[in-house]
Structure 1
Amino acid sequence: MPISPPPAEVQQPTPVPTTVQSQDPMANLYTQMTNLNMNPVDHNVAHQPSVRALHDDAPRPPPLIRATGQPLEVVTYCPETRAVDYSLYWYRLPDLPDLLICTRCHADHIQSTQLASKFEKIKRPDNFNSMCCFWFPRVKEVIWPQAVRTGNMDALHEFLKKRLNVKTCKGRNSTTASNGIKWFGMTGNEINGFISCEACYEDRIAGTPFETRFSPYREQPTNEQWSCDIATPFISRVVVKKAKEDDWAGFVSLATHRLSLPKCEGRDIQSNDCTWYMPRIKIENMRACEACYLDRVGFTRFEKEFEKYVMPPGFDSYFEHMTQFWSCKLNETNLPLVWALENAIEQRNWSVFSSSAEVACRLPPCTKNGIIRGNWWTVQGGCDNFDVCETCYVSVLRTSGVAQFFEPVQRNPEATLVCDFCVSSPRFRQYLRKYAQSVDLGVFSYYLDYVRTFASVPVCPGLDVVEKGHWWGYPNALFCQDCYLSFVTDTKLGDSVVLKKAYDERAQICQIWSSRMRTMWLKVCDAGPPGSPESEEKLAEFIEFGGKRLKIYTQTVPQMKFIREMKLMKMQNAMHQGLLSVMYNGMDGLASISGTTDGHLHGNSQLGWYETEQGAQGAQMFNNMQAGFASANRADEWMQIFQLERIWKEVE
C-alpha cells in the first residue's frame, strides 16, 4: 500500500554479477529460512528418494545428507526466491540462456514429460547469482501443465521472455519511484489502496480469473513509498487458492482482514492488545499473534493445529490480562521457531514443530544480547569459537536432521555468548550460505569445513582500522586474513603474495574487501602468468593504486566518522534535554495546580517568566534541545561529509 512520505534513502551494497534480476539474497531473512527447507536425514537410504511422487498428504521421506561424498546432482529442494551463488547444475531453454530451472523442478515436473528434450543442462560457476524461474505459480500450475497437454511451449517462451524484464518484488519493504516498479490495483477498488507489483501480478494474478479484476495503477509519486500487498505471505497464498476457485469475494474478504491487522514487532505486549492463536494441544508459552499466525500457518496443512484464544469472561480475567505481557513466538525475529515450523510443514509432520517448541519456548531466546549459563553445542570434533545455543539446536539442527554433526560442549558459564545461528553473529550470512549449500548438495562437509576454517578468523574490518594485526599481500595493499582465505587464496596470485601473516602494530586497513579492489585484483591475476612482465606491470599498478587509496582514506574516512559521531552525540544530548524539559514542565504544572509555588516569578526576559524554578529550568532545557538539534543538523557539516564522501568514492 502507498506510504508517504518516505524516509531517507539507504545506499545498497553492490551486487555480485547475475543473469536473473533478484533481490539481495539476505534482504529478507525469513524468506531465506523458508526456502532452505531442510529436513531430517536417513543414513540408511542409499539413493536420493523421489519424494514428489508421493501423495500430497503423505509425510515426505527425509533427504540424504551425508558428512562427505559426492554432491547430489538434483538439489534437495527448489531454492525459489533464494539466489544461489555457488556452482550448481541447472537446466534452461537454449534460446533463453539467462532463465534457469533448478534440477529439483526439472526432476519433479519436466524430466518425465515429452518436452524434456527441449531443455539443456549446464553448470553455473561460483560467484554468479542464479535463481529458478520455474517455481512461479503461473508457470508451475498454469502454463506448464498446459504445455504438457498440448506439446506447445509458446506460452512458456512468451511468459519467460516477459518475466526476465520485470523488476523483482521487494517484498513488504517500502520502495520509491526510482526503482521503476510498475504497479497494479483493483479495478473496482474493493480494497482501497491495494496494490501489486508487476512481478507478483505476472506470477500469481495474470492468466487466472482474477486478471480482469486488476488494471495498471497510477504512477508512483517521487515523494511516496509503496509496498506490494500481494507480497504478504498469507495474501500470496490466498490469491493463488482463491483464483483457482474463482472466488473473488472470498479473496477480498480475507485480504481485507489480513491488512487490517497491526504489524507484529515481536515485543512483549499486553495480552489483551491483540487476538492470539495457540496450539490445540497446549505447548507452554507457545502463542502467536493473528498476523503471524495467518502469515506462517494460514492456508497451510497446520492451520487447524492452532485455535483462537478466547479470554475468559469477567472483570477479574480482563484485569489479569491487562497486567500480563505476552510475545509472539512466530514473529520473523524468532528465527529458530520459524525455521522449525517451515521444516515441519515441508515434512508434513506436526510433531517436528511441537517437540521443538515444547523445549524452545522454555529457553532464553536467541538474540544479539547473548546467553549466560546456557547449554551449548559445536561442530563434531570441537571448535573453540563456534557455539550453537540450545534453542537453535532443538529448533534448527534437530528439525533439519543434521544434529548428528554437532556435539555438546562446555563453555565458561559466566561468559555471555552469542549463538552463531543468531542473525547478529558476525558470520551469520556466510554460515547460512554454506549451510544452504550443504543441504542443496546433500553433503554437510561444505558447512563443517567452512566453520572449522573461519570460526577463529577475525571478520574483515571493512573501513575500520586494525592495530596489532596480521596481514597478507603487499606494502600499501594489505589483505586481512578473512579476505585472504575467502578470496585471494583461490586466485592465480594467491600463493605468490609478498606478505604472509606479517605482524604490524600500526593501525592498518584491509584493501581487498571492496568490489572495486577485488575486480582490479582479478585483472592483475588475468594479466599473465605470475612473474611475467605483464603480470608484474599490472601488479605494480595495483600496489600503486592501493597506496593512493590509503592516502585518500586517511584524509577522508576518519574525518567523516568523527563528524558523524559528533552529530550523533549532539542529537542524543538534545533528546536528553527534551526529556528533562518535559519532566521539569510537569513538576511546574503540578506545583501550580496544587498551589505550592513560592509566590515569585522565575526566569528572565529572554526565557520568559514562570511560577516555579522548575518551569524556568524546563524552558531553558527546551531551548537547549532546539539548539542541540540545530547544531546536530548544521548544513555546512553535512556538506563537508558529502564532499569527503565524493573524494573517497573516486577510489572506492
Structure 2
Amino acid sequence: MDFLEKARHKAEDVVSQGTQAQYRNNPFFSSPPPPPPRPAAVTQPTTDSIFDVYADSGPETSSKSVFDVYADSSVDVTSRSGFDDVGTSTSSQDSKCTGEEARLTKYTQFYVHKNSVDFSICNYCYGSKILPYPSLCRQFEPYRATSDEDSTVCVFFLPRVLIMWQSECLPNDTLQPLLHYFQAAAHYEACDGPTTIKSGPYYEPLNGTIPGLAICPTCFEQFLHKTPFEFKFRMNLGNTTSSRWVCDMSQPFFRRVVKRLLEDEHPSFNDFAREANIRMSTPSCPGKDKPTTEFAKQFPGIMFATLDGGRGGVCKACYLDYVSNTPLQSVFGPIQLPSEHAGKLPCDLSSRISKAAMQFAIRRGDVQIWRKTVLAAERLTPCNGNHGVSTEELAGEKERVGELANCTSTKNSENFETSLSWRGRLLLNAIIPGVQAGNWSRLLEVAKGIAMEPPPCAGGNRGFTKDSGRRWLGRAAEDTADSNDCTIVFCEDCHARIIKGTRYAYHYSKDLTEAAYIARGDAGVFCPTYTKRTRALLREASETGQLAKFAQIWNYRTQLGKKRDSWIPILQNQMFQQQIAMMQTNQQSMLKGSAMMTALHMKGAASATETLMGFQGTQYGNSIIGFDHWTRSSANADMAWHNASNMQVGIGLADPSLMSNTNETLMQALRDEEAFKAVE
C-alpha cells in the first residue's frame, strides 16, 4: 500500500472516530465520485514537498521552457492541442455564462443594451434569457470592441441582477428595473477587496450567526439585496474606534457559496452560515514556500490532495477559496497527514502563478494543467525586477535547463513608469488571447519584438560597469561653464524611447559609452532619465530644439542632486559615531556592573571581618560614607560601592552633542532630498 493509500485510510479513520457528522454535513468534505484505480504501490522519495509525498513514480518532464510542459516543441504554438479550442468555437462559448471573469470582446461575443453600456451580457445569457422575448431582444445590439484589449463581463453573474430579471423584468415585460439599477450602481464605491482594512458602515449577520463576517455596502447591494438572504443581515454603522473591517464578500469562496445556494429552490441561510463559519475558522494559507503549521481545530493535520494519487496538495484555506464549488472540487479530497509530515509541507496553491494556473485548469476542467504548471514553475528563478541580475549571474542562468531568461529585454510606453512594467503589460495582454481564444500568435509577435529591444533601463536602482556591454548615449557640453548647455548621459533604452526619431535627435545621440565607464569606474553608470518628468522634458527639447531651456533645468537638477549626495558621507560618519557611542555605552554598563559586583564582594568580606574582630576602638570612613565603620576594609568596600553606583552610563557621556548634531544633520539632508525630488 503506497503512502497516498495510507494517508487516505488514515483520514477515513479520523472521520469514523468522531468527526463523521462534521464531514458529512460539510459539502467540502462530501464524498466525491469514485476515484479512478489507484496506481501500484511505489517507494516514495524523502522530500519536503507535498508534491513528492503524494507523487506517483512517473518520470518528471524535462523541458527548456514552460511551454514545453504542455505540448511537444515540434508543434506550432498557435495550433497546439489544448489551447486552440479555448473560446473559439460557438458551442464552447455558449455552453455556460462567462461569469464574473472579464473576457476580451474581440474573441467572446457580448451584447449590450442600446441605452446602457453597463448592461452587457454574454452570448449564452443572451440566447437563453433575452432571445426568447422579442420585445426585450430588440433593445440589445452586439458589443463592438473598440480595441484589442477591450473586455467586459456578463452582468447576470450578479445574484441581484438575476433575481430582478426573474421577479421584476420578465413578469412585466420590461427592462426598466435593471436599467435603473445600473444607473444607480454607477455611483457605488468600488469594493476595496479582502486586504484593505476600512472603517465606516458595513453589513453583518443578525444575532452573531457568523462572527466576524463583514460585507461592504457595494457587495451587499450586488450579492444580497433583493435576495432571500437580505433580511438576515443588518447594517453596522461602524462608528466606534474598534470598528475596523475588511469585506469578506470580495473573496471568491463567499461569492461562489452565495450564488450556489441562491440557485436552490429553497435557499437555506443556515447552510450559508455553516459553510461561512467553517471558512472563517480556517487558518490562512502560510504563503509561498512556507510550511503549513496551523490547522482547523476540528480537522487537525488535514490538507487536500488529488484523488488520482498524482502530485499536488493544498492547504484547507486555499482549497476553500480556489477549488471548492468549482468543477475541480471532486478531484481533491482530504488527507490526514502523518506526524512526520504534519506542519512541514508547504501549500502548492500559495503562489500567484499557481493560482492563475488553477483558474485556467478549472475553466478547462483539467487538473493536469495546474499540476504541470506548478512543476514547471519550480524550475524558474524569480524575476529580479528593475534591478536585474549581474553579468555573471546572467551567464549562469543561460546554462540552466528549463528556465526562462527573466527581464533581459524591454518595451515601453509613457503610460508606465518603467520599461519593465510596460513590457510586462504587453506580455500580459498578449497572453490573454491565448488563454481565452487559443491565439498565441500575438504572444510570439510581442516576444520577438521585445527580444530586439535594448536592455531595459534600470534607472537609479543600479549602476552598470563596462562588462555589462551596455551602450550610453547623450550630449557632452561644449562649454561646461555655460548654463545654457549641459552634459547628459542616458542608456540606449531611454534613447530609443525618448530621442530616436525626433527632429533634433542629433543633439542628444553622441556615443559616450567609453567616457561614461571611465568617469564612473567601479561605481558603474546610472541612467538619470528614470522619471516621467525628466523624459518629458528631454523629449520636448529633442523635438523643439530648445536646448537652453532644458539645459538650465538639467543643470539645476544636477546641482541639487550633488548637494543631496554630499550628505551621504556625512550621514555615514554620524552613524559611525553613534555606533561608537553605543559601544562605549555598552562598555560603560559592563564596567559599572563589574565594579558593583566587586564592591559587593568587598562588602561581604569586610562584614565577615568586622563580625570576627568586633569593635577595636577606632572608627573609619569619610564625609561621604560616614565614620561608623569598625575596619578600614569595611570603609573601603562602602566607598567602592558608592563610586560604582554613581558611575555615569549613556550616549551623552561619550559625546553630549552627538544626538543634537545627528538630528540637525538629518533635517538638513531631508530638506535637500525634498528639494531634489521636486525637480527629479
TM-score tier by shorter-chain length is 0.5 to 0.7
Q: Which amino acid aligns with 1:226?
A: W
After superposition, residues 385-464 of structure 1 pair within 5 angstroms as 411-413=398-400, 420=406, 431-436=427-432, 439=435, 443-455=439-451, 457-464=454-461
Kept in 2: contact 1:115–1:148 (CA 8 A)? no
Change over 3 Å in CA distance of 1:39–1:453 after alignment to 2: closer
Counterpart Cα distance in 2 of 1:565 and 1:109: 75
Paired residues for 1:178-197 under 5 Å:
183-197=202-216
Which of 168, 192, 204 pairs up with 1:170? 192
Structure 2: how far apart are the matches of 1:565 and 1:453?
48
1:299 is matched by which residue type in structure 2? Answer: N
Counterpart amino acid of 1:228? C
Structure 1 CA distance, aligned partners of 2:228 and 2:558? 61
Contact 1:470 1:501 in 2 (8 A): yes
Aligned residue in 1 for 2:309: 282
Give the aligned residue type for 2:253.
Answer: F
Aligned counterpart for 2:249 among listed residues 213, 219, 230:
230
Partner of 1:499: 509
Higher CA-based Rg? 2
Paired position in structure 1 for 2:594: 603
Instruction: Tell me if 1:643 matches 2:662.
Output: no
Contact 2:93 2:108 in 1 (8 A): no
Contact 2:205 2:234 in 1 (8 A): yes
Task: Please say if residues 271 and 325 of structure 1, whose CA atoms lie closer than 8 Å, have aligned partners that are also in contact.
Answer: no
Deviation of 1:121 after TM superposition, in Å, equals 5.0
| Letter matched to residue 603 of structure 1 | S
Candidates 302, 312, 325, aligned match of 1:299: 325
**How far apart are the structure 2 equivalents of 1:478 and 1:431?**
29
Query: Which letter maps to 2:273?
Result: V
- Deviation track 1:168-193 (CA, whole Å, cap 9, x = no partner) reads 3232213345xxx7532234332233
TM-superposed CA distance for 1:211, in Å, is: 2.2
2:455 maps to amino acid: P
The equivalent residue for 1:595 is none
Q: Deviations over 1:202-243 (max 9, x none)?
A: 322223222223333333668875322122221221122234
* Match in the other structure for 2:623: none
2:259 aligned to which of 231, 240, 250: 240
- Cα 1:44–1:368 change in 2 (3 A) is closer
C-alpha change, 1:367 and 1:231, in structure 2 (3 Å) is farther
Aligned-partner residue type, residue 307 of structure 2? R
The code of the aligned residue for 1:205 comes to L
Instruction: State the distance in 2 between where 1:447 and 1:564 align.
Output: 48
Report matched runs for 1:116-131 at 5 Å. 117-118=139-140, 124=146
Cα separation, 1, equivalents of 2:268 and 2:377: 43
Find the counterpart in structure 1 of residue 560 from structure 2: 552
| Partner Cα distance (1:497, 1:440) in 2 | 47
| From 158, 172, 175, the counterpart of 1:137 | 158
- RMSD across aligned C-alpha pairs, in angstroms? 5.8
- In structure 2, relative to structure 1, the CA distance for the partners of 1:197 and 1:510 (3 Å cut) is farther
Contact 2:253 2:322 in 1 (8 A): yes
- Pairwise CA distance, 1:643: 3.5
Q: Distance in 2 between matches of 1:565 and 1:274?
A: 53
Conserved? CA contact 1:190–1:252, under 8 Å: yes
Deviation at 1:498, TM superposition (A): 3.6
Structure-1 residue corresponding to 2:281: 260
User: For residues 86 and 566 of structure 1, what CA distance do their matches in structure 2 show?
Assistant: 61
Compared CA separation, residues 54 and 418, structure 1 to 2 (3 A): closer
Measure, in 2, the Cα distance between the counterparts of 1:150 and 1:490. 63
User: Is the alpha carbon distance of 1:170 and 1:464 closer, same or farther for their aligned partners in structure 2, counting shifts above 3 Å?
Assistant: same
Structure 2: where are the runs of 5+ without partners? 1-77, 385-392, 409-419, 476-485, 602-648
1:453-532 matches, cutoff 5 A: 453-455=449-451, 457-464=454-461, 466-467=463-464, 469-471=470-472, 480-483=491-494, 488=498, 498-499=508-509, 503=513, 504-505=516-517, 506=520, 510=527, 513-517=530-534, 524=540
| CA–CA distance in structure 2, aligned partners of residues 554 and 79 of structure 1 | 52
TM-superposed CA distance for 1:258, in Å, is 0.6
Q: Deviations over 1:262-315 (max 9, x none)?
A: 11123124598642111111124x22111111111111122122111135xxxx
Instruction: Provide the C-alpha distance between the structure 2 equivalents of 1:220 and 1:446, rounded to a whole number of angstroms.
Output: 52
Q: Which has the higher strand share?
A: 1
Query: Structure 2 vs 1, CA of residues 55 and 545 (structure 1 numbering), >3 Å: closer, same or farther?
Result: same
**Letter aligned with residue 193 of structure 2:** G
Contact 1:274 1:290 in 2 (8 A): no
Q: 1:163 to 1:306 in 2, by over 3 A?
A: same
SS at match of 2:183: helix
Cα shift at 1:430? 5.3
Counterparts of 1:239 and 1:568, CA distance in 2 = 60
Alpha-carbon displacement from aligned partner over 1:151-173 (angstroms, at most 9, x marks no partner):
53333333333333333323221
Conservation of the 8 A alpha-carbon contact between 1:271 and 1:321: no
Letter in 2 for 1:338: K
Percent identical among aligned pairs is 18
Describe the SS at the equivalent of 2:283: coil
Q: SS of 1:603's equivalent?
A: helix
TM-score (norm 1): 0.58
Instruction: Say yes or no: does 1:158 pair with 2:180.
Output: yes
Question: 1:32-74 CA distances to partner (integer Å, 9 max, x unpaired)?
Answer: xxxxxx99757987993124565559xxxxxxxxxxxxxxxxx
**Counterpart mapping for 1:567-606 below 5 A:** 603-605=594-596
CA contact (8 A) 2:99 2:156 kept: yes
Output the TM-score relative to the length of structure 2.
0.56
Matched, 1:338 2:364: no
C-alpha contact (below 8 Å) 1:557/1:648 kept by paired residues: no
Q: Secondary structure at the match of 1:172?
A: coil
Give yes or no for contact 1:101–1:132 (8 Å, CA) kept in 2. yes
Query: 2 CA distance for matches of 1:115 and 1:442?
Result: 30
Residue number in structure 1 paired with 2:625: none
Quick one: distance in 2 between partners of 1:138 and 1:494?
59
CA distance in 1, matches of 2:96, 2:560: 61
Q: For the Cα contact (< 8 Å) 2:313–2:348, is it kept in 1?
A: yes
CA 609–568 in structure 1, closer or farther in 2 if over 3 Å, else same: farther
* Distance of 1:46 and 1:276 partners within structure 2: 32
**Counterpart of 2:226 in structure 1: which amino acid?**
G
Give the match for residue 64 of structure 1: none
Structure 2 vs 1, CA of residues 53 and 336 (structure 1 numbering), >3 Å: closer, same or farther?
closer
Q: What amino acid sits opposite 1:277 in the alignment?
A: F
Is the CA contact 1:366–1:419 (under 8 Å) kept in the aligned structure 2? no
CA gap 1:429/1:44 in 2 versus in 1, 3 angstroms: closer
Aligned equivalents of 1:544, 1:236: Cα separation in 2: 58
SS at match of 2:325: coil
Higher helix fraction: Structure 1 or Structure 2? 2
In 2, Cα distance between equivalents of 1:46 and 1:233: 23
- Code of the residue aligned with 2:319 in structure 1: it is Y
Q: State the match for 2:231 in structure 1.
A: 212
Deviation for aligned residue 1:339 = 3.2
Equivalents in 2 of 1:197, 1:287: separation in Å? 33
